[in-house]
Amino acid sequence: MEPLTISRRIAWGDLDPAGIVFYPRYYEWIDGVAHLFFEHLGVDHQQLLTEEKLAFGLIQTSCRYFSPGFYHDWITIIPAIIEVNPKRFSLEYQIAKADGQKVAVAREDRACLSLADPTHLTSAPIPEQIYRIFKQNLV
């Protein structure tokens, strides 16, 4: 399967007072890209939530910065599955400027969570079909 590449232009509202991308924006962007990535892989996140009462909750995130993003820079965000086991998986996001200069590398570790009792979340196995999709797309 072709990798998913999301392009976006850095907007004024993405910046901090120093004129560079405010760090929480990276987390906002990668969360949005994660959901687009699930769709790209054929995973219906809404069905998972409403019919199976499961969600992929964040258990750890990180982001390493290599160069700043500035107003009107075009960037690309490329997600990849880098680890998977029956109950959790990890995504990595390569964030670069249009000229290829690395801006950041982010990571999300996600666990499959049962929402059957919303007051007591518990880990659950990733549904078999989705687990196979993740394994097939592991890099």
Q: Report how far apart, in Å, the C-alpha atoms of 28 and of each of 21, 22, 57, 65 are.
A: 12, 11, 15, 15
| 76 CB burial (10 A radius; 0-12, 13-18, 19+) | middle
Which pLDDT does position 4 carry in this prediction? 97
Q: Distance (Å, rounded) from C-alpha 102 to C-alpha 69?
A: 10
| 22 touches 104 (CB < 8 A) | no
Classified as helix, coil or strand, 45 is: helix
Q: Which two tokens stand for residue 14?
A: 């993405």
6-136: CATH class = alpha beta
| 115 touches 139 (CB < 8 A) | no
Give 10-residue mean pLDDT values along the chain (139 residues).
Answer: 94 97 97 97 94 96 98 98 98 97 98 95 97 97
Q: Which two tokens stand for residue 101?
A: 């200069």
